[in-house]
Amino acid sequence: MFDLTFAKQSFPQILSAAPMALLIALVATVAGLLLAIGIVIVREKKKPLPVITPLTATLVSFIRGTPILVQLYVVYYGLPQLLVGLKSWGVAVSTNGLPPLLIAFLAYALNAAANLSESIRSAYHAVEPGQYEAAVSVGMAPRVAIVRIVVPQLIANLLPNLTNILLDLLKDTALVYNIGIVEIMGQANIVSSLGFKYLETYLDALLIYIIIGWLIAKFFQFIEFLLRRHDTMVSA
């Protein structure tokens, strides 16, 4: 039978691991956003760079087409070997064990960068180019036109996809327990193994994910509303 008392007692213990899941998701999203901007700049150049542009496109396609768990394992097992190889070539790097949290940051940031780069490109192309051209034609400096006309609309267009990617990363943090990081699902597994009551703890984890996801979605909806209102006032 479902043990409601055990579920209530377990909830605070599982909730205590939520900051770790949020930390990984937020750091990965911010780092991935910075990497994605660089990727977009490379791929949107009028004259493609001979090696870098196709290599970047291939990397993005590879990351978007493979499960994040595979990417996590590739970074977890591959990065130490890469450091050993660099050291054998004379590069001054440490080959000591890398912190699992750093591995998670790198793997999830790469995943976010690939997905965000496509979202940024889509948001950029959704901005009517005539607005930028009109602003420049009336004497506005190109850089100012980009900052005041293009960027606010680009951000507003990007926010829904950015929210989805952040939420996906938050849910995918359930996988980092495989490399020794205790987050929401990891803590749920630990608590459930103590009392052998798995349904109760997994429902606790489910409820925590729903609450956090709802709060994040509402926050970004509010930001998007403010940006859309600002764009409307500027257009008027």
- Tens of pLDDT, residues 119-149: 999 888 887 777 777 777 777 777 777 777 7
Percent of the chain with pLDDT over 70: 94
Q: Is a pLDDT exceeding 60 seen at residue 13? A: yes
Between 144 and 190, name the one with better pLDDT: 190
Structure tokens, 200: 């109760």
Structure tokens, 80: 């130490």
Instruction: Decide: pTM greater than 0.85.
Output: yes
Rounded-to-integer distance, Cα 101 and Cα 21, Å:
11
DSSP state of 178: G
Task: Answer whether 93's CB lies under 8 Å from 123's CB.
Answer: no
Rounded-to-integer distance, Cα 3 and Cα 46, Å:
62
Residue 108's nearest CA partner among 187, 59, 178, 170 is 170
Other C-beta atoms closer than 10 Å to the C-beta of 226 total 11
Quick one: average pLDDT of 162-171? 95
Q: Is a pLDDT exceeding 80 seen at residue 97? A: no
Give me the helices (H) in 173-197, please.
Answer: 184-195
Residue 167's nearest CA partner among 89, 115, 99, 228 is 115
Residue 154 phi/psi, 5° resolution? -60, -45
Give me the helices (H) in 16-150, please.
Answer: 18-43, 52-64, 68-88, 100-126, 129-137, 142-145
Q: Is a pLDDT exceeding 90 seen at residue 83? A: no
Distances in Å between the Cα of 44 and the Cα atoms of 47, 70, 215 are 8, 29, 34
Query: Considering only the top CATH level, what class is 4-235?
Result: mainly alpha
Structure tokens, 7: 């579920």
Q: Is a pLDDT exceeding 70 seen at residue 166? A: yes
234 pLDDT band, cuts 50/70/90, is low
Residue 25's nearest CA partner among 63, 59, 68 is 68
